[in-house]
Amino acid sequence: MTTTIRFRDTVLATLASVAMMMTLHPSPAAAAAGPTPRIVAAADAFLATLDDAQRGKVSFAFEDAAQRKRWSNLPVNMAERRGLRLGDLRTAQREAAMQVLAAALSRMGYEKVVGIVESDEVLRKEGGPNSPPFGRDEFFLSFMGKPSLKEPWMIQFGGHHLALNITVVGEAGVLTPSLIAVQPAKFMVDGQPVRPMGRETDKALELVLALTEAQRRQAILGSEMRDLVLGPGHDGETIQPEGLKTSTLDAAQQKLLLELVAEWSGIIHDTAAAAKLAEIKAGLGDTWFAWSGPLEAGKAYFRIQGPTVIIEYAPQRLGGDVTMHIHSMYRDPTNDYGRKLTTR
């Protein structure tokens, strides 16, 4: 069986070392068994391209608490990352690294990640000689624990404006906590616009405009845009729910909400994404939606908070145009880093 990841039509750009079309070739047994064998096979294939020194850099103990939290929205010269830097890999190794992500993520998620990486390359090209180290080369890949079909392990991938923490435990996959951000939020490739976080921006506005006036009065917390509350460095913290309880939404409004949530929950591979969205849907009776800022796309903070999900979206003033610089966080207060699956 051959699964082809075609992302050119929506992303229009990819890492310089990766072909415009990513093709995965899982074994028949792996394809039949589900996503975890494919992820493990891709990870093992990547590890096989490395020398001993590189394997030492990419591999960490699953219990390594310092490495687990070594992620940030800041450029790599301002916040330490460890693992293997993409810019230090040979072409074949870099392609194998991207195969790991393609196996672990959904098609939509992989396209979003590639778009975010490409946006950082645009930032590099637009920056001056004294700019921080941006670009495709400044992303890091690491594994915590040994790739396994049964035992827990993690894939970490990130750099400036991106931090994926993917915990794999058997057939279960967990993407929280993950930082999903972008700058510039819109750029041109081959004469066409690319918006890596465009759908979530547009869907959020569609949702808040679909609320009744009474619902909007509850959902909107104020006219001033807020910033992330539970961003990097805030693991294990909680916040008081605010805004509109989503149990009061009608069926059409709940559909819009779940479509918005899926822009984050759907980044991981389809099997884990479907399970997570079903879990979030089951908790809608105790989920809240809050909005802070003007009723304009990409100019307001919003938060979705439920028993097993916290999503924050926060445009940033740094850079001038807030619609061009977006931070977001995706967390599960009960299961960040796969805590429910790994605590014994």
The DSSP secondary structure of 276-292, one letter per residue, reads HHHHHHHTGGG-EEEEE
pTM of the prediction? 0.90
pLDDT in tens, 71-82: 999 999 999 999
Judged against a pLDDT cut of 60, whether residue 163 lies above it is answered with: yes
Q: Which residues contact 66 (CB under 8 A, 6 or more apart)?
A: none
Q: Do both 317 and 196 map to the same domain?
A: yes
State whether residue 327 is helix, strand or coil: strand
Say if 176 falls within a structural domain: no
Q: Which residues of 306-325 are buried (b: 16+ CB within 10 A; e: fewer)?
A: bbbbbbbbbbbeeeeebebb
Q: Is residue 207 part of a domain?
A: yes
Whole-Å CA distances, 111 to 13, 98, 127, 195: 10, 12, 24, 11
Q: How confident is the model at residue 19 (pLDDT cuts 50, 70, 90)?
A: very low
Average pLDDT rounded to a whole number, residues 91-108: 97
Question: Same structural domain for residues 110 and 197?
Answer: no
SS3 299: coil
Which of 121, 137, 170 is the last residue before a domain boundary? Answer: 170
Residue 147 · residue 318 · CB < 8 Å: no
The confidence score (pLDDT) of residue 3 equals 33
pLDDT at 262: 98
> What is residue 34's predicted lDDT score, i.e. its pLDDT?
82
Q: Which of helix, strand or coil describes residue 24?
A: strand
pLDDT at 107 over 80: yes
Among 140, 170, 200, the domain-final residue is 170
| Count of beta carbons in the 10 Å neighbourhood of residue 193 | 10
How confident is the model at residue 128, as a pLDDT?
Answer: 80
178 in a domain, yes or no?
Answer: no
> Which domain covers residue 48, as residue numbers?
3-170
pLDDT greater at residue 2 or residue 232: 232
CB 78 within 8 A of CB 245: no
38 has pLDDT over 60: yes
| pLDDT, tens digit, 9 for 90 and up, residues 111-160 | 999 999 999 999 999 988 888 999 999 999 999 999 999 999 999 999 99
- Mean residue pLDDT of the chain comes to 90
Torsion angle of the four alpha carbons 180, 171, 255, 9, in this order, in degrees rounded to the nearest 10: 60
Would you give the end-to-end CA distance of the chain in angstroms? Answer: 37
Task: Judge whether 111 lies within some domain.
Answer: yes
Do 18 and 145 belong together in one domain? yes
Is 277 within a domain?
yes
pLDDT of residue 27: 46
Instruction: Dump pLDDT digits (tens) for 3-16.
Output: 333 333 334 434 33
- 232 with 292, same domain? yes
As a whole number of angstroms, the distance between CA 76 and CA 138 comes to: 7
Q: Are residues 232 and 302 in the same domain?
A: yes
Number of domains in the chain: 2
Q: In this structure, are residues 234 and 227 in contact, taking their beta carbons and an 8 Å threshold?
A: no
Same domain flag for 215 and 106:
no
Burial category of 130 from C-beta neighbours within 10 Å (exposed 0-12, middle 13-18, buried 19 and up) = exposed
Same domain, 239 and 112: no
Question: What's the pLDDT band for 344 if we cut at 50, 70, 90?
Answer: low
Q: Evaluate whether residue 103 is within a structural domain.
A: yes
Structure tokens at 308: 């097993």
Q: Which residues contact 43 (CB under 8 A, 6 or more apart)?
A: 100, 103, 143, 147, 155
- Which residue carries 């000689």 as its tokens? 129
pLDDT score for 33:
59
Asked whether residue 238 is assigned to any structural domain, the reply reads yes
Whether residue 182 is contained in a domain is answered as no
Do 55 and 97 have their domain in common? yes
Nearest residue to 317 (alpha-carbon basis) of 231, 227, 233: 227
Measuring CA to CA, how many Å separate 240 from each of 33, 105, 113?
A: 41, 31, 30
d(CA 225, CA 332): 23
Tell me: do 158 and 295 sit in the same domain. no
Domain identity same for 25 and 96 = yes
Task: Read off the pLDDT of each residue in 270-297 and give the average, rounded to a whole number.
Answer: 97
Find out whether 179 and 171 touch, Cβ atoms under 8 Å. no
What pLDDT, on a 0 to 100 scale, did the predictor assign at position 129? 82
Per-residue model confidence (pLDDT) at position 195: 97
What confidence score (pLDDT) does residue 25 get? 44
Same domain, 263 and 152: no
Asked if residue 13 and residue 136 are part of one domain, the reply reads yes
Is the predicted pLDDT of residue 56 greater than 80, yes or no? yes
Model confidence at 32: pLDDT above 90 = no
